[in-house]
Amino acid sequence: EIQLVESGGGMVQPGGSLRISCAASGFTFSNYGMSWVRQAPGAGTEWVSSINSGGGKTYYPDSVKGRFTISRDNAKNTLYLQMNSLKPEDTALYYCARVSFDMDKMNYDGSYIPLTDVWGQGTQVTVSS
């Protein structure tokens, strides 16, 4: 069974940092690009970041660029998101998701949100004083 299980969410003060993780199973993790997507209360989903299968290429929207860092450990089948300088508007349910196409073969350049086909259940991040 293909599974993505997020963990590490919690409450943090504005300006603080948090690292969330996503454990993958049921598929060859190292063959797939991965993304983080978030959904704030009452809002639609927002793309947060993506990383190619090897981990050498990362992509971010302007809203988190310079504050968030996506990474992966293919030996541990785990995806990470390091979040620094957190703001109240970063409060959301954070999902990891598997990218549905080969980012390298498609020469993905970060100019559009990559399609995803498997999502986890999410981990809550709340930024509040």
Q: What is the mean pLDDT of the segment spanning 30-59?
A: 96
Closest alpha carbon to 26 in 122, 81, 98, 106: 98
pLDDT of residue 74: 98
pLDDT of residue 27: 97
78: pLDDT strictly greater than 90: yes
111: pLDDT strictly greater than 90: no
∠ at Cα 94 (40, 123), nearest 5°? 110
Banded pLDDT at 13 (limits 50, 70, 90): very high
pLDDT of residue 112: 87
- State whether the Cα torsion 77-20-116-3 is positive or negative: positive
